Chain A
Amino acid sequence: AQSVSQHNHHVILSEAASLELGCNYSYGGTVNLFWYVQYPGQHLQLLLKYFSGDPLVKGIKGFEAEFIKSKFSFNLRKPSVQWSDTAEYFCAVGAWNQGGKLIFGQGTELSVKP
């Protein structure tokens, strides 16, 4: 069965600390990979995406993620977090050519202390 697993449910960091959120997926085929962010009271916003090509993708707000096919992973990173990064982060996987039909991880709540 297809699944997405995020390792951390709640991460607490101080400002300027580095961030890495883990994401592993289980799927027997070519996939598209996404990280979405949900700020309190707001809708999901796309942080970054991977469809093909360079496995290191850069997104908005200084975030990046690396697709490691052999590990079925797509971890999210940011070298220096800010208080404004406090939000819920979701990793999602979509099958190639199946459009917007996504399987989401359980989410990671990030709290950044000022």
Chain B
Amino acid sequence: GAVVSQHPSRVICKSGTSVKIECRSLDFQATTMFWYRQFPKQSLMLMATSNEGSKATYEQGVEKDKFLINHASLTLSTLTVTSAHPEDSSFYICSAQRPGQLNTEAFFGQGTRLTVV
């Protein structure tokens, strides 16, 4: 089966610094990846759609300058949380889907637990 991998799985950073999270599709090329955020005891909220070779599409209310997304290759999308603050502490999860197969399931990474202190 397809595998999506995120790195790191956990990160602790100081307030004001930036953190980069990587999402890789390991056995297929993903032209589109998705970034979600999950607060404790809450559901996953879609943040943005990452498109290879073009700008990401952000959901309403998500600050694009705060959460920078780069999808520079067909197997890698990165999410950079810039000038992180404690309220950015959350669980970030990416997903990817096989290209050309819109009506199939997405595969999720293991998530990244970000703690901003």
Q: Is the CB of A34 within 8 A of B43?
A: no
Residue of B nearest to A109 (CB): B41
Q: Is the CB of A101 within 8 A of B43?
A: no
Distance between Cα atoms of A105 and B45 in the complex (Å)? 9
Contact of A100 with B34 at beta-carbon distance under 8 Å, contacts A107-B42, A107-B43 already known: yes
Q: B residues within 8 A CB of A99?
A: 32, 97, 102-103, 106
Stretch at the interface among B12-20, B66-74, B75-83, B108-116: B108-116
Q: B residues within 8 A CB of A56?
A: none
Total number of A residues with any Cβ neighbor in B under 8 Å: 23
Distance between Cα atoms of A45 and B93 in the complex (Å)? 12
Q: Chain B, interface size: which category?
A: 20 to 34
| B50 smallest CB distance to A (angstroms) | 11
Q: Does B49 interact with chain A (Cβ within 8 Å)?
A: yes
| B13 smallest CB distance to A (angstroms) | 21
Q: Is the CB of B32 within 8 A of A44?
A: no
| B34 smallest CB distance to A (angstroms) | 5
| A42 smallest CB distance to B (angstroms) | 7
Q: Does B84 interact with chain A (Cβ within 8 Å)?
A: no
Q: Does B89 interact with chain A (Cβ within 8 Å)?
A: no
- A→B interface (CB under 8 Å): 32, 34, 36, 42-46, 49, 51, 90, 96-107
